[in-house]
Structures are given as structure tokens and as C-alpha cells.
Amino acid sequence: MTELPKARIATASLAGCFGCHMAMLDIDERLIELMTLVEFDRSPLTDIKTFTRRCDIGIIEGGCCNEENVHVLQDFRKNCDVLIGIGQCAIMGGLPAMRNAIMHSDEPLRECLEEAFINGRYIRNTTHNIPNDPALPLLLDEVYACAEVVEMDYNIPGCAPTGDVIFETLSKLLAGKFRGFERETIRFD
């Protein structure tokens, strides 16, 4: 019997904390089982920076807070058959989206940067400037959920989702048997 070709997975962490990638490692020893079915392409886990070829599954952690996030997300949409958002940041902006509203300002981005680099009580910023090196990706006016930028096929809720939920979801997707989440397993925290 010929061996089935492995599904190719790419992952990226956009405006997230990398916690969802850590949560993927919580799959623990079942990773060995999973790795018989999949192989990784572009991912922080492999340190491959660009797509080597088209992938079956793209997994996105985090929303979009800067232009580089948008480009990466669009690149994933273009190069992946199925795009999965993982965690609350990808689904609804999450913690970074606090800057959209919590700043109580007409210019939330400016106020956020001034608080972070100039006015904050615990800041030691000898230049008194907001970083503006051309190498830094331009911040967006707001933090956007992934689905506001490209079409997402599936979303795994959680902050971070447990290793169990990630493993179950990926296994079922790979087997073509994913029919949504058990209500008892849905968590936003």
C-alpha cells in the first residue's frame, strides 16, 4: 500500500502573544500521531519564512495590528486551501484590540503610542520619541480580526485553546469529519 501524501501545514503568529503556538505544543505525545499525518511548511516552529509550495492548512494566531500582519495573512489566504484562525485574537482582535476602544480618545493609536513611549509613568525613553524606523511595519489605525481582512474557513476559540481542543479539531479536519465544536468544550479564556 502506498503511503498517503501528508497534509502540509503552515502557521503564523500575527498580533498575538505566541501563546496559541505554545498551546499547540500542549498536544504533547499525540504530536507524534499527528506528525504521521502532517508536515510543516512555513512556520515559526520550522523557522521557514516563506511558502515553499501550496499548503493544505494555514493556521493563524493573532489579529492584524500592522501592515506586515495584513501582508502575511493575505499571503496565507493565497497559499492555503483551508485557513484556520486560532485563539481570540485571530477571531475578534483579543487583547491588542483593547487599543481600539479603551484609550477613550479620538486618536486612540496616537494616545496609545504616547502612553507607551512618552507619557507613561514607568517609561525610561531617553529620546522622547515614538519609534519610527523605516524598518518597523506601519501600525494600522485599529487592530482587526482576521475575518475582517480575509475569509477564514474555521476558527478555534480560546485564550489559548487547550491542546485537546486543537488536537481534536485538527484530527477531525484531516479526517474530513469536523462538524463544529462540542458546546461543553467552547471557551473564550
Our finding on whether 152 is near other proteins (CB under 8 A) is: yes
HSE of 137, CA atoms in CB hemisphere, 13 A: 14
Q: Which three cell numbers stand for residue 182?
A: 462540542
Helices marked H in 12-97: 19-25, 30-35, 67-79, 88-92
Could you give the CA distance from residue 159 to residue 165 in angstroms, rounded to a whole number? Answer: 12
Region binding other proteins by CB under 8 A among candidate stretches 24-32, 45-53, 133-141, 148-156: 148-156
Choice from 3, 47, 50, 104 touching other proteins (CB under 8 A): 104
Our finding on whether 97 is near other proteins (CB under 8 A) is: yes
| Contacts to other proteins from residues 30-69, by CB under 8 A | none
Given a contact cutoff of 8 angstroms between Cβ atoms, the answer to whether 71 and 65 are in contact is: no
**Nearer Cβ to other proteins (14/145):** 145
In the three-class reduction of DSSP (H, G, I as helix; E, B as strand; rest coil), residue 189 is classed as coil
Choice from 100, 112, 115, 140 touching other proteins (CB under 8 A): 100
Our finding on whether 183 is near other proteins (CB under 8 A) is: yes
**Nearer Cβ to other proteins (41/80):** 80
Region binding other proteins by CB under 8 A among candidate stretches 7-15, 76-84, 141-149, 171-179: 141-149
Choice from 22, 102, 123, 130 touching other proteins (CB under 8 A): 102
From residue 108, alpha-carbon distances to 14, 55, 102, 115, 139 in Å are 20, 37, 8, 10, 12
Could you give the CA distance from residue 93 to residue 146 in angstroms, rounded to a whole number? Answer: 8
Given a contact cutoff of 8 angstroms between Cβ atoms, the answer to whether 50 and 42 are in contact is: yes
In the complex, the residues that contact other proteins under the rule CB under 8 A are 85, 88, 91-95, 97-98, 100-102, 104-105, 145-148, 152, 155, 157, 159, 180-181, 183-184, 186-189
